[in-house]
Amino acid sequence: MVSLSDLQVRSLGACTVDSPLALYVEGRTTNEYYVGETDRILYDDTLELIASRGVPLAELPTFESGGPRQKIFFDPATTKVGVVTCGGLCPGLNDVIRAIVLELNTHYGVRDVVGFQHGYAGLIESNGHDVVELTPDFVSRISERGGTILGSSRGAQDPSAIVDRLVELDIDILMVIGGDGSMRGAHNIGAEIAARGLSIGVVGVPKTIDNDIPHIGQSFGFSTAFAKAAESIKAARVEVEAAVGGVGIVKVMGRHAGFIACYAALANHDADFVLIPEVGFSLDGDNGLLALLERRVAERGSAVIVLAEGAGQDLIPASDRRDASGNAVLGDIAGFLREQISKDFANRNQPLTMRYFNPGYAIRSVPADASDSVYCARLAQTAVHAAMAGRTDMVVGRRRHRFVHVPIPFVTSGSHSVSPDGDLWLSVLESTAQPFSMC
């Protein structure tokens, strides 16, 4: 069970420097729109959950609030900040980089900000990646394009060598933008820093297009991703409605979590079936996918299946291959379903026109939409406030519209996924008229 101690964020030391943003927060107290610096944010959000803990108010699990402080740890005049982007691409990476640089420069007066190219590999000098100077002019227009101007990579690097490089370059704060694996790497870097007794902060802005990092609310880029996926679902619907026996399959990202599939399907109500890793399904039997699909096509003339890449892995042979991040390489569920559907319709002597859409790389490589751009900016600003106040080994997130600091070990201790008993999956079933069970 989560306790208050699990949510304590580590600090490099006492904050003794007057913050340039002190006037922004002076005299402000907690209200509906703002959380005071010394106030904390409840982990639980219902009376029943709170009461079930049976502990005094002061011992309830709570998060430290995000935002500017009146006193900070680092002197802006002498602070040097490094920024790195790790893992796969995601809408909004450039927005986060831009907002970090502008917040540091414009409001804190930090002029020395550099970027490391191609993920943690850029922090290893022998890899030969140049360090990039990040100025307001350099980053002013980068949010207009997708990807990351710093490049990215997967795979772990030696924390000791990384800390050697940070010391060599006089880096005071390392801002890490990446997924759960990248955050584990950030924690290892922070542990090496602590073991050496150094005062270098490590602060993360968590990134996952699958929205599967727990405790941070919705991850940046997710809104853009499911909106783009919804466009492919709409295109699939148009295609199959124009065909005889039209069946469309739209494969979207989601190794272990089906959030993109669910939200994209809800965005336009064009899906007939949504298949996600969290909810099993069968192919055969009266309530299996093949029989349900045949009936839906017979009734409506066509059908669209939205398929998360990690769904139905139990139906195909497991792979023993691993990618650069150590993740198991998924089996080709889309190819398997196309083959099985084609065989089934042929056996029934039913006409079939198959249309397959895989918008994966298009989803993750586009610029952030307006909503995500706003979110990226606010996350980046919150991360800078935390870093300048000497917080370390933590990430920023937004829990129920409040920005919070979350320890990296807590974030990386589990995963976030669609609950088959939750209201999101119920909404999907209501939208698609998909049976509650397909087993």
As annotated, the active-site residues are: 210
Q: What gap in Å lies between CA 99 and CA 84, rounded to an integer?
A: 14
358 in the Ramachandran plot: left (φ > 0), alpha (ψ -120 to 50) or beta? beta
254 among the known binding-site residues? yes
Here the tokens at position 74 are: 């680092």
Is residue 391 part of an annotated ligand binding site?
no
- The answer to whether the annotation marks 353 as part of a ligand binding site is no
Neighbours of 137 (CB within 10 A): 8
Give which of 113, 121, 184, 186 is closest to 151, Cα–Cα. 121
Is 153 annotated in some ligand binding site? no
Annotated binding-site residue? 253: yes
Question: Does residue 312 have a known ligand-binding role?
Answer: no
Short-list 261, 212, 228, 204, CA closest to 372 = 228
H or E segment to which residue 334 belongs = helix 333-347
Residue from 211, 221, 180 nearest 408 by CA: 180
Q: Is 363 annotated as a binding residue?
A: yes
Encoded tokens for 150: 């710093």
Is 196 assigned to a binding site? no
402 carries a ligand binding annotation: no
Strand ranges for 134-271 from DSSP E? 173-178, 201-206, 246-252
- Check whether 201 is labelled as a binding-site residue: no
Which two three-digit tokens encode residue 332?
């080709």
SS3 category, 160: helix
Does 109 belong to an annotated binding site?
no
**Is residue 286 marked as binding?**
no
Angle at 320 between CA 418 and CA 360, to 5 degrees: 45
Cβ atoms of 32 and 39 within 8 Å: the answer is no
Does the annotation list 192 as a binding residue? Answer: no
| Residue 239 counted as an annotated binding residue | no
Residue 209 among known ligand-binding residues: yes
E strand or H helix at 380, and its extent? helix 370-388
Residue 180 known to bind ligand: yes
Task: Quote the Cα angle for 327-277-395, to 5°.
Answer: 55
- Binding-site positions for Mg(2+) read 180
- Binding-site positions for ATP read 88, 154-155, 179-182
- Binding-site positions for substrate read 208-210, 253-255, 309, 361-364
- Binding-site positions read 88, 154-155, 179-182, 208-210, 253-255, 309, 361-364
